[in-house]
A and B are shown apart, each in its own frame.
Chain A
Amino acid sequence: MLRTWFTIPLACFVIASIQASEPPITVADLAHLTGYPAGKLKVKDETASANEKAARKKKPECLSHHVYSSEDGTFATVSVAIGKKGTLLTPELDVKAKEILEKAALTPDAPVKLRALSLGPGVQGYGGLGMAGGGGSMDRSVVSLSNHDRDIQITILFGENALTPLAGADAYQQSIVTSEGVNAIIEKCLTVVSSNIVASTEKPPTVPSLLPQRTAPATPSSDQTPMANDSTLASTPVPQSPAVGVERRASVWPWVVGAILALIVIGALVLKRRA
């Protein structure tokens, strides 16, 4: 009996911890999208560290920032940041991007990789926000979900040297170093993450089960399927992850914490009475 009183709160605490760090796209989904072996991928919640840096630079903070990488240099690091609308696709960035695109339209010969992205009604932004340097390179896309008060940014980072070859990931490694390949992967990720956000914010809040759940693949709503002809996406399992629904978590978890505390108090009282 005593064990039960301590086990239940502990289980609640562990599950709460897992839920709090759940990434916006699962490792399995990202592996499926990229064609990279899931077993070699790891994800790290870098939200706190990212916001610390942002604060130092006086830049807007994000709601979550997850980094997907491999330990052996065979995978180009993927970062997924989610913020409130206007914090990642900032008005300043929007103005600059528009300027570049307008200039590019006037001078068709000028090479521009930047492009406007429209992943469906209410999901607009920019892709091809590329950058390179002696230390490596990055490909970045950022979109706003205007109806859901969210910005999503996907960044793919390359080190200063080529990916270390990995048997079984040949197609991924050959594709990711091309503009077309990297853009396709980023857009697929954006679509999955935005679908997850839509699913989590449109679903009525419910008290989560104490057991971890993975729902069946969700069908994106009709207004969120700009790439509906993409068979890969159609078959991609979309978890109804609460990870990006930070506000929803904020409204639910106080009740869970309250319940845990109540259980502990009751347990303590019972133990005291027995003693």
Chain B
Amino acid sequence: MITTPPQVPPPTPKEPKCGSVKGKADPNDSRRRFHFLIEQPTGHERFASHSDDGISIWITPYKRDTGAKQESRQIMSFYGTKMAYPRDESVRFADHPGFETTNDYLVTIEFINVIYTGTADMDGLTLYEYLLPFDIEEVISDQISGNECNKLPTPYYRNAGGTGGPNNPMLMATRTGRVANLAVKMNVAAAVSSKIFVGVREVGSTTILGSTVSIPSPGKTLLTFTANTGHKIYEVVAGYDANANSALENSEVARVFEKTPKKDSSGGAVTTNLGNLDKIIIVEQGQYVSSKNWLFGGGNTPLTDYAGDILEAFAKGSTTVTDATTTTVGIVVTSTHPSLTHQVGAKWNATCQDTTHRFDFANGTEPSDDFEASNALKTIIDTVIQENIAALITHGAGKPGWPVLTLPNFSKPNDFKISESADIGVNELHLAFGSVTITGTLQVSFRVLNPTTIEVGTINIGGSFDDLYDFDYWSGSNAQSGSMVQAGHASLSTAANPSGKIFYTRLNYDTGWRALGKNFIK
């Protein structure tokens, strides 16, 4: 007798994400034989079995309505160092007496440690073809609780120029000592979540440093573990607790977290250097202190000026800097600030905001004087005059003497690393400010020499630029030290020395009238 299958809607068919394991009942033996087509898994080097090299298939029938399970049985196993894919295997339930395989039951099919769940329609002809894998959806830094500001995946992988992001691998620090905290969002069926464990290991290591049972998303699986010393790179993994010891073992790992698209900021495919994709750099307290102490002295470069002073202020958490004429406090900074590379260096609230301060360098201070003598400003003056030469000629045509015209406000991007590369010693402007957008107003005193040429006698230019003071872990080993202090700010700094806090800087400039003596041609 053919019975009507229970009206349980099957999961939405979708392409399996973890390889492909499909089952079909054999039309010639629909009740008792299933075929499994096992395709090459993606995201795994191989299917690792309990004994490292091979596949084992376990089936656990459980009641559709109550979830009550029967005993799990290993019904098949294959061993060998190199498995060939795809594999077409079949199993006869008749060979395993005692299994309940009626329509009241679903089956949990375990391939190695990967759990695939499907409706096993025992009286029909097909086993549910699209099998539902569990997956790690998000990994969130839980360095300080109550926010989801520092997390993976990121919108893209590596930075192809520009400023800020991506924070991948994600930089974070321990809460205290070497104790690190992560929050993981798991896509896992509630029925099997108690057997799925989430863990973390150092990249390249087989030691699971900590694990915990998964909680289906939108809940968070909170993972606490002891990080290794220094600033190592870690990965989040998950798998089926096959030996039921309530801990994830390396041999049980079936999933390694990887969600970020393999593309760069311009959308181009990234095919190399994918080893750090969706990994986590964790800075422990000893490393934080060591890096901070190095920064205290302005790195190891003696005789630096304001760049060293600002660095020391960052390392000490000081709100005063030599040359900074004022400090403005209470300025909001958000974790999504476009030039913030790593979402660390602040104690983010639930909306990913914190307040910080800004060092203002007034006109006449050393940074301002340096800027006024910089190639950057020379280039801006030339560029702005050239952009407005038509207006200047119109304004000055027929006028005697040296007429003055105030040109429209300008806004120009500049990278001090490039514009001031001719500095013999420490390029203070570059180290202190980096890439900024310079705004200002230019007044020009000039005369028209002919319908296409003007002579600019003097100029008067003033304005400002702002910057966010933060570090990129990947921008040289010295910047790495800065980034690690920044990473530790939220949890490892003290109230007396809130080291590593990101802050703003603002440089004001006003040259007054000064000679230029240059011709410009339309």
Known: A46-B422, A130-B477, A134-B471. A161 touches B163 (CB 8 A): yes
B205: min CB distance to chain A, Å: 20
Minimum distance in angstroms from A73 CB to a CB of chain B: 5
* B474 contacts A131, C-beta separation under 8 Å: no
| Cα A179 to Cα B476 with chains together (Å) | 8
CA A159 to CA B415, docked complex, whole Å? 8
**Contact assessment for B272 and A53 in the assembled complex, using a CB-CB cutoff below 8 Å:** no
* Most chain A CB inside 10 Å of its own CB: which residue of B291, B302, B425, B426: B425
Contact with A157, one of B264, B299, B427 (Cβ below 8 angstroms): B427
Is the beta-carbon distance between B158 and A135 smaller than 8 angstroms? no
Which residues of A sit under 8 angstroms from B478, Cβ to Cβ?
Answer: 113, 130-132, 137-139, 158
Q: Is B470 engaged at the interface, CB distance under 8 Å to the other chain? A: yes
Q: How many A-B residue pairs have CB under 8 A?
A: 216
B299 and A132 within 8 A (CB): yes
Mark contacts of B391-421 with chain A using CB atoms, 8 A cut-off: 1 yes-contact digit, 0 otherwise. Answer: 0000000000000000000000001111011
> Cβ of B422 and Cβ of A160 under 8 Å apart?
no
A40 within 8 A of B: no
Contact B300 A135 (CB under 8 A): no
Interface check A197, CB cutoff 8 A: no
CB neighbours of B163 from chain A (8 A): 160-161
Interface of chain A, main secondary structure: mixed
Taken together as a complex, chains A and B put the C-alpha atoms of A96 and B299 apart, in Å, by: 13
Report whether A67 and B270 are in contact in the complex, using a CB–CB cutoff of 8 Å.
Answer: no
Minimum CB distance partner of B502 in chain A = A134
Is there contact, CB below 8 Å, between B273 and A93? no
Q: Is the interface of B mostly helix, strand, loop or mixed?
A: loop
- Number of B interface residues in the complex (CB < 8 A): 68
Interface residues in B285-304 (C-beta closer than 8 Å to A)? 290-291, 293-295, 297-304
CB contact list, A80-123 vs B, under 8 A = 81, 83, 88, 92-93, 96-97, 99-100, 110-114
Name A95's closest neighbour in chain B (CB-CB). Answer: B302
Give the CA-CA distance A169 to B323 in the complex, in Å.
Answer: 41
Chain A residues 42 to 65 lying within 8 A of chain B, measured CB to CB, are: 44, 46, 49-54, 56-57, 59, 61-62, 65
User: Quick check: A54 and B424 within 8 Å, CB to CB?
Assistant: yes
A102 to B424, CA, bound (A): 27
Q: Which of B415-444 contact A (CB under 8 A)?
A: 415-418, 420-427, 429-435
Report chain B residues within 8 Å CB of A130.
299-301, 477-478
Contact B294 A162 (CB under 8 A): no
Cβ B417 vs Cβ A135 within 8 A: yes
A157 touches B430 (CB 8 A): yes
Partner of B272, one of A52, A81, A129, A165: A165
**Which residue of A50, A100, A170 is within 8 Å of B302 (Cβ)?**
A100
- Partner of A65 from B159, B298, B422, B435 at Cβ < 8 Å: B422
User: Across the two chains, which residue of chain B brings its CB closest to A181?
Assistant: B477
Which of A81, A132, A157 is in CB contact (< 8 Å) with B481?
A: A132
Looking at the complex, which of B18-26, B52-60, B306-314, B448-456 is the stretch in contact with chain A? B306-314
A59 touches B425 (CB 8 A): yes
CA distance A69 to B418 in the complex (A): 9
Which residues of B lie under 8 Å from residue A174 when comparing CB positions? 273
Structural contact, B424 and A136, CB atoms closer than 8 A? no
Tell me if A53 and B300 are in contact (CB < 8 A): no
In the docked arrangement, what's the CA distance between A128 and B476, Å? 12
Q: Is the CB of B422 within 8 A of A67?
A: yes
Quick check: B161 and A137 within 8 Å, CB to CB?
no
The reply to whether A53 and B308 form a contact with Cβ atoms under 8 Å apart is: no
Rounded to whole Å, the gap between the CB of A107 and the closest CB of chain B is 10
Are B467 and A113 closer than 8 Å at their CB atoms? Answer: no
Candidates A92, A100, A110, A162; contact of B159 at CB < 8 Å: A162
Q: How far is the CA of A79 from the CA of B424 in the complex (A)?
A: 8
**Is there contact, CB below 8 Å, between B300 and A128?**
yes
Interface contact A129-B300, CB-CB below 8 Å? yes
- Once the chains bind, are B421 and A137 in contact (CB under 8 Å)? no
- Least Cβ–Cβ distance between B366 and chain A, in angstroms: 10
Evaluate whether A177 and B434 lie within 8 angstroms (CB atoms) in the complex, with A59-B425, A134-B469, A135-B467 already known: no
Partner of A158, one of B303, B314, B479: B479
Chain A contacts to B: CB under 8 angstroms: 44, 46, 49-54, 56-57, 59, 61-62, 65, 67, 69, 72-73, 76-77, 79, 81, 83, 88, 92-93, 96-97, 99-100, 110-114, 128-140, 153, 156-165, 167, 170, 174, 176-179, 182
- Could you list 12 A-B pairs, sorted by A, with CB under 8 Å? A110-B293, A113-B477, A114-B300, A131-B299, A135-B430, A136-B417, A137-B476, A160-B339, A161-B163, A167-B272, A174-B273, A177-B474
Closest 6 CB pairs of A and B: A135-B434, A133-B431, A134-B469, A162-B474, A96-B302, A160-B434
